[in-house]
Amino acid sequence: MSQGKLFTPAKAGAIELRNRVVMAPLTRNRARAEDDAPFDIHVEYYRQRAGAGLIITEASQISPQGKGYAWTPGIYSKAQIEGWKKVTDAVHAEGGKIVIQLWHVGRISHPVLQPGGADPVAPSAIAAQSKTFDGSQFVETPTPRALEIAEIPGIVEDYRKAAENAKKAGFDGIEVHAANGYLIDQFLRDGSNKREDAYGGSIENRARFLKEVMDAVVGVWGGERVGIRLSPFSNANDIADSNPQETFSHVIRLLNGYKLAYLHLVEGQTGGPRDIPEGGDLAALYALFDGARMGNNGFDRESAIEAVESGRIDFVAFGRPFISNPDLVLRLEQDAQLNALDPDTLYGGGLKGYTDYPTLAESAVAAE
């Protein structure tokens, strides 16, 4: 089988990619502590990885309320916009393309991470059996406060402003984070959404918040520069739905109306097994979508080449391999050995385990 198609140019909506290898969004908890802004180390980290057809940044909160972990970046302040502008300039100087993933964690937070020590918010006051990192230790996520219906338009407006800020920061587009048990996903699933108003009950109602967010951000960018990430069969952060196939079939049909750049699906459990539960059909969900399809979760070189060559998906998003291999595309193309990942430096810290992984060329020099 030819290995070529994965390494050929393609388009995701209006975004032209030099290859079909995507750097997945990867939380690394290294934003500047005083203002959650990216700074010089982020510039070098993303610049090193600009060989990807597309970089999707680490999830970035749309507001202080949207924060769920220590030292994650935002996209709601002037300092954050300026920090991200240096990143996008560096990636573009290397010929790369980069979009920012917009994030509100909902209930996956803790009062110590919230403005004024407030309770995290969610569709319903149901605690997730999950944990977050508060800057010193892992802590249980508490019972959130159910959002008042009058608050929801303000969060939608935060998404719109974040989309505007992403333009100011020079991104090529945005990705809406609607996966992995965070706020949008919490609204979509009947296990976490027990509302009895216009945002709960039927799938049409549970998808209302997503629709309003998409209306807002597509109004800023146009659909051709907006992607979305979903995780239909993942139970990340204690998320659950009684019929995910039905729920996400409805969601994808809804999304088709926006003519998006791409649909990004987590295949199976986030960062875990790729198994699909009984009654689930990943191929059927992909088939419902009218645009470009991106797969993620546990791909290696062989499975990525096969998935794109067969036409099952158009792009493959790699996560952890991009952490330890800044030149991952070249290594995949040449079938070269990959650097081992240091798990102790994944979250928090500084340059170690962040910008010091060697390229093939650097490894060759060191071996001489």
Tens digit of each residue's pLDDT (9 = 90 or more) over 300-357: 999 999 999 999 999 999 999 999 999 999 999 999 999 999 999 999 999 999 999 9
Structure tokens at 191: 């296990």
CATH number at residue 105: 3.20.20.70
Please state, in angstroms and rounded to a whole number, the distance separating the CA atoms of residues 123 and 357. 41
182 catalytically annotated: yes
Please state, in angstroms and rounded to a whole number, the distance separating the CA atoms of residues 152 and 200. 13
Decide: 45 and 83 in contact? Cβ < 8 Å: no
Q: Which of 46, 76, 182, 286 is catalytic?
A: 182
Decide: 165 and 221 in contact? Cβ < 8 Å: no
What domain range is 320 assigned to?
Answer: 5-367
User: Residue 2 has what pLDDT?
Assistant: 46
Total domains, the chain:
1
Please state, in angstroms and rounded to a whole number, the distance separating the CA atoms of residues 316 and 304. 6
pLDDT tens, position by position, 254-301:
999 999 999 999 999 999 999 999 999 999 999 999 999 999 999 999
How many percent of the chain have pLDDT more than 90?
97
Vertex 169: Cα angle to 8 and 38 (nearest 5)? 95
User: Residue 365 has what pLDDT?
Assistant: 74
Q: Which residues of the chain have pLDDT under 70?
A: 1-3, 367-368
Which pTM does this prediction carry?
0.97
Mean pLDDT taken over the chain: 97
Nearest residue to 6 via CA among 312, 338, 323, 359: 312
